Amino acid sequence: MPRPVILTVDDDPGVSRAVARDLRREYGEYHRIVRADSGDAALEALREIALRGEQVAVILADQRMPRMSGVEFLERAMDLFPRARRVLLTAYADTEAAITAINVVDLDHYLLKPWDPPEEKLYPVVDQLLEAWRRTPDRPATETRIIGHRWSARSYELRDLLARNQVPFRFHLADDPEGHRLLEAAGLDGARLPVVVTGEGEALVDPSDAEVAEKAGLATHATGELYDLAVVGGGPGGLGAAVYGGSEGLRTVLVESVATGGQAGTSSRIENYLGFPDGVSGAQLTDRARRQAVKFGVEVLTTRTVTGLATHGGVRVLTFDDGSEIAAHSVVLATGVSYRTLDVPGLTELAGLGVYYGAATTEAPSCAGETVYVVGGANSAGQAAMNFSRYAERVVMLVRGPSLQASMSQYLIEQIEAVEHIEVRTCTEVVGASGDDHLEKLTLRDRNSGDEQVVDAHWLFVFIGAEPRTDWLDGVVVRDDRGFVLSGPDLPAGPDSRGPSGWEPERDPFHLETSLPGVFAVGDVRGGSVKRVASAVGEGAMAVSLVHRWLENR
């Protein structure tokens, strides 16, 4: 196996040589030391390292570099090597930049220059980071490759699956030279697409999500049959419950149908989460939480859909869509919500073909130079508009109401107003869509005048409220008329509050407990919850304390 890389980048030749010299002297036997004199050169080196299938363990970057600061470089480097530990080299005056980097790029450490002697100020830091890197669960070093059509709903679903699970991949069009070469090498004619080529060179023709996840090194099957706590759903609430459950010694498994993070994980920037004054992307925040859960021994299962919940003796049994089961003494329901679809002629057929529900962050770079339409007036729509504005020539927000004030945070409204190429069209709704193999036209209606307008459109992203994913709980726990799970004081009194096993008369339900004792609901799926990331995480933590009470008093 090639030696893991330690990369250093500094535009000062003297400093660059000194850092490389010190690192080579201490770590050169077991690591390859690579140095670069600019952010662009370092990114090019990282791309070459990735193509060779090598690994990067630690990156040290100077903050004050021309054209690209250290923080900017580290943020881009995360896309290539998310596991690499990140160090910022700073002068005393740059400590504010270091604090920013902790929020923006999940900085592991910052070093004040000079760091002499290295035996005291450099090597202990690098030793600690290398040890942390070795403990981080590994992913295949080589990239997964997808060959498909540009306007293919299934190709999009696979790209979204891998991107949200932070699995490196490349997408090739079937009629491009590289796509054609890969199909030919696999002995395929491209009649059935998409094709996924794994890092080991195995070609999978139109594979399932579970097949792709397993080949990419993600855990898809439980290692045990009985757990103290099973968490269903990997959004902020589920991750919060998993982290606290694992850290407090409960044997915990977290089950997620697509990728950890939920809707929050697709947010380009969350700016009102406590402790992140400069904001943090949903992917970065949830990746930290996932790594934290794994550190505490939590099993994280991906692409597993729970279809049933029942009581067998003193345990709760979860059934998966393939018929397999796991049992747990307690369960936390954190399945979140899904965006409602637009009931508009033409849109159903174009889902995944230019029409997307949610942020679809994998598609943002493909919108370069084009017009993007965003439907919705709440925070999720505003965050998406800001993200797409980095790529698109024009972003048009379509809002049914008279303004954004009623549904969007003020900080986000001010940001949108400051971007010249974001247009907000209020009192406007989509009433029609058309296109052959992808979205080509939208029909818009002014809700005041009734006038309609047909516009050219290739990209439509919809954020129009959400519905809970609770059909599989019908008859198992009590829900409200919209499908949200009722818990604690919100449970109706009398026989209607009883689950299949009946409610225990000697005590009232705990605050987050559902009508089925030992089963708790947190986050957006819970009736009456506050739809915020921070509150979901707090409920996840609270649920674990209630789980302890349930386990102690059964």
CATH number at residue 175: 3.40.30.10
The reported pLDDT for the residue numbered 197 is 92
- Look at residue 372 and tell me whether its pLDDT is greater than 50: yes
Q: Is 220 inside any structural domain?
A: no
Q: How far apart are CA 362 and CA 352, in angstroms?
A: 12
> Which among 116, 135, 154 is the end of a domain?
135
Confidence of residue 230 (pLDDT cuts 50, 70, 90): very high
Whether residue 387 is found in the same domain as residue 428: yes
Please give the helix or strand (H or E) that residue 282 lies within, else none.
Answer: helix 282-295
What is the extent of the structural domain holding 30? 5-135
* SS3 readout for 397-417: EECCCCCCCCCCCHHHHHHHH
* Domain harbouring 52, CATH code: 3.40.50.2300
Q: How far apart are CA 481 and CA 365, in angstroms?
A: 40
Confidence of residue 66 (pLDDT cuts 50, 70, 90): confident
- Look at residue 395 and tell me whether its pLDDT is greater than 50: yes
Between these two residues, 65 and 195, which has the higher pLDDT value?
Answer: 195
Whether residue 265 is found in the same domain as residue 232: yes
Write 323-327 long-range contacts (CB < 8 A, 24+). 324/221, 326/222, 326/224, 326/225, 326/226, 326/227, 326/230, 326/253, 327/225, 327/226, 327/227
Between these two residues, 41 and 53, which has the higher pLDDT value?
Answer: 41
Whether residue 546 is found in the same domain as residue 457: no
The reported pLDDT for the residue numbered 141 is 47
Q: Is 70 inside any structural domain?
A: yes
Q: How many domains does the chain have?
A: 4
Whether residue 361 is found in the same domain as residue 455: yes
Whether residue 115 is found in the same domain as residue 153: no
Q: What is the mean pLDDT of residues 286-298?
A: 91
> Which among 70, 104, 135 is the end of a domain?
135
pLDDT tens for 13-38 read 888 888 899 999 999 999 999 999 99
The reported pLDDT for the residue numbered 112 is 77
Confidence of residue 246 (pLDDT cuts 50, 70, 90): very high
pLDDT tens for 507-534 read 889 999 999 999 999 999 999 998 889 9
DSSP structure class, residue 266: G
Whether residue 330 is found in the same domain as residue 360: no
Q: What is the mean pLDDT of residues 232-241?
A: 96
Whether residue 521 is found in the same domain as residue 545: yes
Whether residue 327 is found in the same domain as residue 359: no
Whether residue 109 is found in the same domain as residue 182: no
Whether residue 110 is found in the same domain as residue 248: no
User: By the 8 A CB rule, do 383 and 359 touch?
Assistant: yes
* Domain harbouring 291, CATH code: 3.50.50.60
* Phi, psi at 483, each rounded to 5°: 100, 0
The percent of residues in the chain predicted with pLDDT above 90, rounded, is 59
Structure-block tokens of residue 48: 């070459």
Q: Is 218 inside any structural domain?
A: no
Between these two residues, 440 and 264, which has the higher pLDDT value?
Answer: 440
The reported pLDDT for the residue numbered 143 is 75
Q: Is 536 inside any structural domain?
A: yes
Whether residue 375 is found in the same domain as residue 442: yes
Whether residue 198 is found in the same domain as residue 238: no
Q: Is 49 inside any structural domain?
A: yes
The reported pLDDT for the residue numbered 500 is 40
Q: Is 354 inside any structural domain?
A: yes
Q: Is 219 inside any structural domain?
A: no
Q: Is 217 inside any structural domain?
A: no
pLDDT tens for 77-100 read 887 788 899 988 876 545 565 555
User: What average pLDDT is seen over the chain?
Assistant: 89
- Residues forming beta bridges with residue 270, ordered by sequence position: 280
pLDDT tens for 432-468 read 999 998 999 999 999 999 999 999 999 999 999 788 9
> Which among 421, 448, 464 is the end of a domain?
464
Which residues, including other chains, have CB under 8 Å from residue 494's CB and lie 6 or more apart? none
